[in-house]
Amino acid sequence: MEYFLPYCAGNVLPDSGRKDMNTSKIGVWGVLLGLALTCLSAGSVLANSRPADYKANGSIALIEKAYSDGKLTLGDKIFRELQAVMAPQDLPSSLASSLPEIVKCGTPYVEEALANWRILTGDQQALATQYLARPNLDSTYISPSHAFAIHYSRSGNDAVPLEDLNLNNIPDYVERIGQYMDSVYHFYHTTLGYLPHPRDNDSLYDVYLLKIAAYGITVQESPGDSAWEDYSSYIQIHCNFVNFPPNDDPEGDVIGAQKVTCAHEYYHATQMAYNANMEAWWRESAATYFEEVSYPEVNDNYGYLPTFFNYPDTFLTAGGYHMYSAFIWPQYLAAKFSLNILRTIAERQRFYSILASIDSSLAPLGKTVKGIFPEFTVWNYFTGPRTGGITYDSAADYPPVPLDRSLVAPFAAITPIYAPDGLAANYIMAYPESGSEGLLKIGFDGANTVEWGFSYVAFRGSTVDVHPGCAVDAQGRTSCGIYDIALYDSVLFVPAVVSQWLNNNQYSFTATINPFGDADGNGSLNILDVSYLINYLYRYGTPPKYDYFIGDANCSGNVNILDVSYIIKNLYREGPSPCPYRP
C-alpha cells in the first residue's frame, strides 16, 4: 500500500532538507515521511546533509501548489483543503490525487475554515456547512461509563468492521472506541483534573465513525457559558483504519490507531473547554503528546519525528506536520516540571497566548521560555545513538539531529549554513586541534533583531560536561571559555534563537585559544595579566576572565600572589610557561 502524508498548509519543509535517522521504532512511518531522503548511518557526524527531495503528490499538496501558482484564491484553498479531509470524493479531478490522503488530524482544516468563513463564497459556505454538520448514522452505542454516544453505520461507505467476537450485536470496533474514549475521559478529568468539555444539548459527548481522510477531526460548535472562549464540540473518527500507517501496538495497527485517535481528538475537546481558538501548533503538539501519555505502547507519533529532528533550525511554532512532531516540546516541559504543568498552561490559555501562558506557568518556578529553551535544544541532541542520561525516557528511539557544521577548533569566523528561525537552533561540533593548549574562547555575535541563547557540551571519553547557558547580552553577543581544551575530545556548540518571530537569523562565531595565565582574556600573556591579577587580589577587581583557573599560572589550584610571581618569571626571567590545573 502506498501512503501519502500531505504537505499541509504552513508546512515548513523546504525543497531540500536534512538526513533521516536510523532508529528501530520509526519503521515504515519513517520511510513514509523520509521518502527519497539521504540516509546517514547512526552516529554519523557529517554536517549539513539534507534529504535529496521532499515530494508531495496528495490532494493537499495539489491544492497548495494550485494556490501558490495563483490558480486558487485563499478562500478556494481553505475550502478545498476542508473538502480534501472531510469529503474527498467531492474534489474536482484536477485536485484529487490517486494516492490515499491520510491526515493526522483534520481539526486544523476545520479551524482554518471557521476562522476565514467570510472569504468563502456562498456556494462554498453552503457545502462547508454540510461537511461540518453532524451526520445521520444508523446505529448508536453508549460507552460503558455513559459519557459517550458512538454513532456508526453497519453498511455503506461509512461501514465499520462487523466482527463481533462477544456476540452482543455491537461491532467490536465500536466497543473499543467506547472503551478508549472512556479511558481518556477518566484520565484527563479524574486523574489530571482538566475541566470537562462544554456540553451540547445532552450529557453524552458524540463521536461519529466515518470514512474521512484523517485519523480524526474535532469540530467546534457552540460557545459555552464561561467568560472565556470555550466551545462545545463533537468528534469524527475514521470508521476502519484500514491501510493506515503501522504503529507499535502489540494488539495490532488498527487498535493502536483507535487508541491514539481517541486520546488525540478528545484532548482537543478538552482544550476547547479552555480556548477553542488557541494557536494551532500548540493545540496539535499537546494533543499528540497526550497520545504518548495515554497509550505509550502505540508510538504512532514516532512517525512524525523526522519533521522535527531533521529540521532543528525551523520555528518551533511552525505549522503543517511539524505541529505533530513538536510534541517533543510539551514532553520536555512535562519531563522537566511534571505533567501537571500542561494543565496549568491550559488554564492560562483561557486569557493569554500560548507562549505567554507557558511563561506564566513557569514564573512560580523562577523560569521563562527564553531561559529554558537552550536546555531543551541540548536535550534534543542526546537522542538515538547519542542517548545519555540528560534527555527523554524514550530518547534512544528518536532520530539524531544533524550538525550544521563539523570543524576543527580553533577556527576563524563562521556563519550558519541553515540559519535558525525563531525558537530554533543550530548544532556545531568542534574537535580541538592536536597540540592545542589553553582556554578555548568562544566569540558569538548573533543578529540583534532577535534574542539568543548559547549552550555547549564538552565530551571527554565517556564524560559529558553540559553547559546549558552562556550569558548572551541584548546585542546577541556572548563570550564563554572552555578551560584546558586539550582534555576534551570534542565540543558541541548550540546557538539558539529564544524569541519567536523572525526567520533565517544570522550570526558570526569564532573560537580562539587563550594561553594559561591570560587573566585579562585578551588572547596573550603579558604584563597586563600581572596588573589584572594584582587588581583582582588586592583592589576588589574582577576575577580572571572566562574561567577562574586561567589565572592559576602555577597550577596550584588557587589564584594568589604566587601566580603573579610565576608570570613575571616566565615573561622576564625565562621561567616555565603557565600550566593547567588538573586535580
Instruction: Provide the CATH number for the domain around residue 417.
Output: 2.60.120.1050
- The answer to the question of residue 298 being in a domain is no
pLDDT tops 50 at residue 7: no
pLDDT of res. 395: 95
- The answer to the question of residue 472 being in a domain is yes
pLDDT of res. 32: 39
The single-letter code of the amino acid at 373 is F
Q: Examine the domain organization and report whether 453 and 531 are in the same domain.
A: no
Q: Cell triple for residue 187?
A: 484520565
State which of 115, 133, 151 marks the end of a domain: 133
- The answer to the question of residue 482 being in a domain is yes
- The answer to the question of residue 63 being in a domain is yes
Q: Examine the domain organization and report whether 87 and 59 are in the same domain.
A: yes
Q: Examine the domain organization and report whether 461 and 496 are in the same domain.
A: yes
Looking at the DSSP bridge assignments, the partners of residue 443 are 479, 510
pLDDT of res. 57: 63
DSSP letter assigned to residue 549: G
Contacts of 511 (CB under 8 A, 6+ apart): 409, 410, 411, 430, 440, 441, 442, 443
How many independent structural domains does the chain possess?
3
pLDDT tops 60 at residue 18: no
pLDDT of res. 48: 37
- The answer to the question of residue 42 being in a domain is no
For residue 468, name the pLDDT band (cuts at 50, 70, 90).
confident
Q: Half-sphere exposure of residue 305, counting CA atoms within 13 Å on the CB side?
A: 32
Q: Examine the domain organization and report whether 496 and 411 are in the same domain.
A: yes
Q: Examine the domain organization and report whether 454 and 490 are in the same domain.
A: yes
pLDDT digits over 323-332, tens only?
Answer: 999 999 999 9
State which of 133, 154, 176 marks the end of a domain: 133
pLDDT tops 50 at residue 33: no
What crossing angle do the helices spanning 74-86 and 122-132 adopt, rounded to 10°? Answer: 30
State which of 105, 133, 161 marks the end of a domain: 133
pLDDT tops 70 at residue 54: no
Expressed as residue numbers, the domain containing 556 is 527-572
Q: Examine the domain organization and report whether 430 and 477 are in the same domain.
A: yes
pLDDT digits over 288-300, tens only?
Answer: 999 999 999 999 9
The single-letter code of the amino acid at 472 is V
Cα 342 from chain centroid (whole Å): 15
Looking at the DSSP bridge assignments, the partners of residue 149 are 142, 206
For residue 99, name the pLDDT band (cuts at 50, 70, 90).
confident
pLDDT tops 90 at residue 398: yes
Long-range contacts of 534-539 (CB under 8 A, 24+ apart): 534/564, 537/561, 537/564
What percent of the chain shows pLDDT beyond 90? Answer: 84
Tell me what the mean pLDDT of segment 555-570 comes to: 98
Q: Examine the domain organization and report whether 3 and 129 are in the same domain.
A: yes
- The answer to the question of residue 105 being in a domain is yes
The answer to whether the beta carbons of residues 405 and 313 sit under 8 Å apart is: no
Q: Examine the domain organization and report whether 565 and 439 are in the same domain.
A: no
Q: Examine the domain organization and report whether 71 and 97 are in the same domain.
A: yes
The pTM assigned to this predicted structure is: 0.88
Tell me what the mean pLDDT of segment 395-421 comes to: 96
Lowest-confidence range among 37-41, 131-135, 200-204, 335-339? 37-41
Tell me what the mean pLDDT of segment 128-149 comes to: 97
- Per mean pLDDT, which of 24-33, 220-229, 347-356 is the most reliable? 347-356
pLDDT tops 80 at residue 40: no
- The answer to the question of residue 335 being in a domain is no
pLDDT of res. 390: 78
Q: Examine the domain organization and report whether 531 and 499 are in the same domain.
A: no
Q: Examine the domain organization and report whether 566 and 457 are in the same domain.
A: no
- The answer to the question of residue 543 being in a domain is yes
Q: Cell triple for residue 458?
A: 564538552
Q: Examine the domain organization and report whether 9 and 127 are in the same domain.
A: yes
Tell me what the mean pLDDT of segment 502-513 comes to: 96
